[in-house]
């Protein structure tokens, strides 16, 4: 299996590169710069493409070129940014910087659309083509969150997933949107999960759990797919 992880230099993206795949699989990490100390699963080959999704058209072309010869089975779009004071009691929409709002829309909406458009012809040559979009519980109706640009962008990801399924159902494209709650990204994938799950006292999700969910989705046969998963922290009062 050949899997591309966009936004793979740190946090959840790095955990996906380190936690997915098995012997003979290939993972393609994408970020502006290649991180140090990546520890993939045994037998997994990791290639890296340095690309800045802030320039969506240029990056999409580069990534299309990177997979044109060897193909691609799965695209995981994990890249996303949010407002400076997002998830802070001091957040106020009217105080948001205009340029930052535009950057959020470009990174979280424009870039995945442009990239999927470029990579879809390659993906559809796979016997089991999959797209996984890292969304957020902020993209759910009545999420309880006030961040306007970030929330809107995560709503948009769910719309992308629905539209792609309608357009490419006959080509057996499976599109999954992960609605994730607050993550513990301080403890990386190589930290024991029993340790990572203690951080946040029930309010944070270890990256290990997200990796496990993605593993499950990718392990399914070509006869089914996971449409959407909501994964909140156990003590998240919104759920």
Instruction: For residue range 166-221, list pLDDT tens digits in order.
Output: 999 999 999 999 999 999 999 999 999 999 999 999 999 999 999 999 999 999 99
- Domains of the chain (ranges, CATH numbers): 2-231 (3.40.50.720)
Nearby residues of 42 by Cβ (< 8 Å), 6 or more positions away: 23
pLDDT digits (tens, 9 = 90+) for 54-100: 899 999 999 999 999 999 999 999 999 999 999 999 999 999 999 99
Mean pLDDT in the chain?
A: 96
* Contact criterion met (CB below 8 Å) for 126 and 72: yes
Structure tokens belonging to residue 83: 């407002």
Query: Across 11-91, where does the E strand assignment appear?
Result: 26-31, 45-50, 74-77
Structure tokens belonging to residue 53: 């999704």
Structure tokens belonging to residue 234: 């156990």
pLDDT in the model for residue 37: 84
Residue 126, φ and ψ in degrees, nearest 5? -75, 150
């Amino acid at each position: 299996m050949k899997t591309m992880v966009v936004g793979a230099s740190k946090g959840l993206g790095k955990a996906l590169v380190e936690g997915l795949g098995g012997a003979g699989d290939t993972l393609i990490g994408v970020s502006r710069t290649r991180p140090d100390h990546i520890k993939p699963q045994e037998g997994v080959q990791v290639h890296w493409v340095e690309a800045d999704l802030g320039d969506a058209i240029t990056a999409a072309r580069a990534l299309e070129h990177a997979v044109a010869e060897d193909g691609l089975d799965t695209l995981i779009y994990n890249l996303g940014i949010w407002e400076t004071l997002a998830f802070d009691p001091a957040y106020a929409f009217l105080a948001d910087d205009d340029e930052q709002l535009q950057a959020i829309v470009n990174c979280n909406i424009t870039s995945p659309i442009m990239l999927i458009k470029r990579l879809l012809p390659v993906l559809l040559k796979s016997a089991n083509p999959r797209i996984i979009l890292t969304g957020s519980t902020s993209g759910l109706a009545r999420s309880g969150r006030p961040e306007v640009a970030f929330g809107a962008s995560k709503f948009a990801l769910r719309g992308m997933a629905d539209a792609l399924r309608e357009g490419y159902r006959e080509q057996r494209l499976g599109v999954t949107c992960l609605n994730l709650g607050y993550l513990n990204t301080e403890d990386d994938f190589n930290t024991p999960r029993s340790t990572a799950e203690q951080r946040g006292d029930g309010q944070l999700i270890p990256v290990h759990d997200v990796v496990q969910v993605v593993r499950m989705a990718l392990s399914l046969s070509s006869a089914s797919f996971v449409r959407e998963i909501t994964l909140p922290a156990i003590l998240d009062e919104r759920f």
